[in-house]
Amino acid sequence: MRYSLFSLLRHSLSRHRNWAPAWHDAAPKAAYDVIIVGGGGHGLATAYYLAQVHGIRNVAVLEKRHIGSGNAGRNTTIIRSNYLLPGNNPFYEWSMRLWEGLEQDLNYNTMVSQRGVLNLYHSDAQRDAYARRGNAMRMHGVDAELLDTEGVRRMLPFLDFENARFPVLGGLLQRRGGTARHDAVVWGYARAASDLGVDIVQNCEVTGFLREGERIAGVQTSRGPIRAGKTGIAVAGNTSRLANLAGLRLPIESHVLQAFVSEAIKPFIDCVVTMGAGHFYISQSDKGGLVFGGDIDGYNSYAQRGNLPTVEHVCESGMALIPSMGRVRMLRSWGGIMDMSMDGSPIIDRTPMDGLYLNAGWCYGGFKATPASGWCFAHLLATGQAHPVARAYRLDRFATGHLIDENGRGAQPNLH
Ligand SMILES: Cc1cc2nc3c(=O)[nH]c(=O)nc-3n(C[C@H](O)[C@H](O)[C@H](O)COP(=O)(O)OP(=O)(O)OC[C@H]3O[C@@H](n4cnc5c(N)ncnc54)[C@H](O)[C@@H]3O)c2cc1C
C-alpha cells in the first residue's frame, strides 16, 4: 500500500480502523539466499537495498527481539557528514544524500529535519582544527561554515559564552546536518523491505552458525536451523558475542552509551549543538524535550543501562554550556550498547570465513550511517566487492595499520 493524501482520506471514511500492518511479521523458512542477523536500522536497510537495488529478494532479517529494540531505537537521532578523513567523508556524505531522498524513496515519513549541526570550539587550537575539517569537507563537496563568537551568539544567545574554563569562541556549522526520527527509520525500512518480499523474522535469536568445512552455510536459531548462501552480521553492540560463536575475535569492545530527555518545554534550541570542551551534545525534539548525551560509560558491558557517574558528568557539561538548563527537569535516561572499534571507524567487509560478512564498529555514530551502511553492505553481499565509498572499512586495517582515526586518539575504543 502506498501512503498518500488519497489513502489517508480513504481510510478516514472507516475511522482509520482498516489500515493494513506496515510490514509482514514472517515465520522463518528453511533457507534463504541471504540472511542478515540483526533487525536494527543497518540490518533492515541492507535487506531493503539488496531487494531494491540488486533484485535479491529471497532474504531474511533475523531479530532476537522486536525490530528497533537495540540502538536504532535508543539513539539521539543526529545525522551529519562533517568528517575530516578521506576514508570517512565520502561515505557519510553519501549517507546524507540518501537521507535527503529517504522519505520519497521509502514512501514513509522518517521526519528528516535538516536543522543544522553546530560543533563549538573553545580554544585557538581547536578553531584551527575545525577550520581544517571545514576545508576538507568543502573540498569533498560537503557544506561547512566556520562561525566566530558573534555568529554563534546570533544562533544561540543563551550559551555561557564567557565561561571561565570553556569560553565559546565559535563553531563549525553544517546546515544540512540535523535529525531524523529513529523509530520511523526502522519502520520505514522494514515496511519497504517487506513490500519487496524480504522476510522480517522477530523473536528469532541466532545462537550459532551452520558450517560446511570452513564455510558458513547458515545459522542456528532459537527457532531452528536456517540455511543461507550468505550470512551478514549487523548486530551492533552484540557483534563480539556473535562473532565469537563463529570463532572470530574482533577489534571491537562493547561499551554503554547513555542518553537523556527532559520534560517538554517551548521551542528553545533549533539546531543540534555539540560542546568541543567536553563530550556533550543537545537538540530539542519535536515534542519539546531536550535530548542530550555525552561520553560512553568507561567500562565494558552488554547491559542496556548505564551508571550514575556518567549521568553527573553529562549534566555538568550541559550546565557549563547552558546554565539555564538547570531549571529543566530530566524525564528519562536510557542506555544502548556500542560496538566500539579501536580507531572509531566502522567495518564493512568479508570475514576470513567464506559466506560470512561483517557490518560493525559503528561506535556512537552509526545512526547517521544507516542508509549508506545498508547500501554498501548490500553492495558487498550482492557483488562480492566493497562499494567505492566504503573501501577503507576493511577488517584487516587493524593488522596492516591503516587505521581511520578521525579523532586522532589512537587505538583506544573508549576515547572515540
Ligand atoms: C544513547 C545513544 C545515542 C546515540 N546517538 C546517536 C546519534 O545521535 N547519531 C548517530 O549517528 N548514532 C547514534 N548512536 C549510535 C547508533 O544508534 C548505532 O551506531 C546504530 O543504531 C547501530 O546500528 P543498528 O541500528 O543496526 O543497531 P541495533 O539497533 O542495535 O541493531 C542490532 C540488532 O541486533 C539484534 N541482535 C543482537 N544479537 C542478536 C542475535 N544473536 N540474533 C538476532 N538478533 C540479534 C539486537 O536485538 C538489535 O536489534 C547512539 C546510540 C546510543 C545508544
Query: Quick one: pLDDT at residue 214?
Result: 87
Is the pLDDT score of 283 beyond 90?
A: yes
Mean pLDDT of the chain: 96
pLDDT tens digits, residue range 406-416?
A: 988 888 888 88
For ligand 1, say whether the CB of 80 is within 6 Å of any of its atoms.
Answer: no
* Best mutation site among 71, 219, 311, 377 for ligand 1 pocket (most ligand atoms within 8 Å of CB): 71
For ligand 1, say whether the CB of 259 is within 6 Å of any of its atoms.
Answer: yes
Expressed in angstroms and rounded, the spacing between residue 84 Cα and the centre of ligand 1 is 24
For ligand 1, say whether the CB of 243 is within 6 Å of any of its atoms.
Answer: no
Report the percentage of the chain scoring pLDDT > 70. 100
What domains sit in the chain, N to C, each tagged with a CATH number?
24-78+182-251+343-415 (3.50.50.60), 113-176+253-340 (3.30.9.10)
pLDDT confidence bin for 301, thresholds 50/70/90: very high
pLDDT tens digits, residue range 222-240?
A: 999 999 999 999 999 999 9
Query: Quick one: pLDDT at residue 162?
Result: 94
Query: Quick one: pLDDT at residue 411?
Result: 85
Bridge partners (DSSP) of residue 259 are: 293, 334
pLDDT confidence bin for 118, thresholds 50/70/90: very high
* Best mutation site among 42, 110, 304, 364 for ligand 1 pocket (most ligand atoms within 8 Å of CB): 364
pLDDT confidence bin for 344, thresholds 50/70/90: very high
Ligand 1 closest atom vs CA 67: 49
Query: Quick one: pLDDT at residue 1?
Result: 83
Query: Quick one: pLDDT at residue 409?
Result: 85
- pTM passes above 0.75: yes
